[in-house]
Structure 1
């Protein structure tokens, strides 16, 4: 239709895509979503096509939805970064290493205290009493150490200790 008067005021989908600098698929999508009108012959009025595309670009609801989706994506990425940082801190001192340090410390204390009753007194009753006190204290420290390691593993607060030891919030 070379002499068709509508050719000067209407566009094919391909022409509209070139004019709006989008793909033909995008033009069809804009038409499907109601931004662009469709004439019975499938052509698009030029002015209505441009106005419809401007309406699409200015559509507050669409932009708000896109903005909300972008915000959710940013939040998800931030959460992923926080998780990686938390994981990295765990890698700096694995719980198993903390447990080994506590075990080594208790072994050193136990070895150092083992000989003290004999150095303090030669009285068998006093020697026995001091030895029992050291034994009880070491048993309490061992139990507290195990409870603290378990708290580290589970993320629970540190248990109360008689000596007012470390408390984690």
Structure 2
């Protein structure tokens, strides 16, 4: 038998904490401020294991809440037209580049009648259009690679909580069931 003061020294907590754990049922009290050493150690281990389990569950719950909040934010952004589908954005960019290309096609003729100077302007405009096309293609590949990566990950992503979990309610009457 040991006192709460000695139990506190063994567990590196205060005597008040030992008494609190006893009140909460983690440590069995044998008499006025008396405890079995084994009960103190085992009770404290059970308490710590339960605390660790609850902390892990809280962290997982927090990640789920954050993911749900992010999903809601994205849905709201789509509804408020602050966010559009990638395909739609790419189509808009392609339309704008097509318009730009069409408008610049007649630029040399609008600037000069000198055929040699027109050729110089056409070459410069075509160089610019090629650089724009190369950058657009590069960015498009990056978007497609990111999409392919998301699609590859999606089948392996965690489902909703409880999805495809066995029904444990039938086991609740058995000894040792969780």
Give me the TM-score of the superposition, normalised by structure 2: 0.47
Structure having the higher Rg? 1
Structure with greater contact order relative to length (CA < 8 Å, sep ≥ 6)? 1
Give me the TM-score of the superposition, normalised by structure 1: 0.49
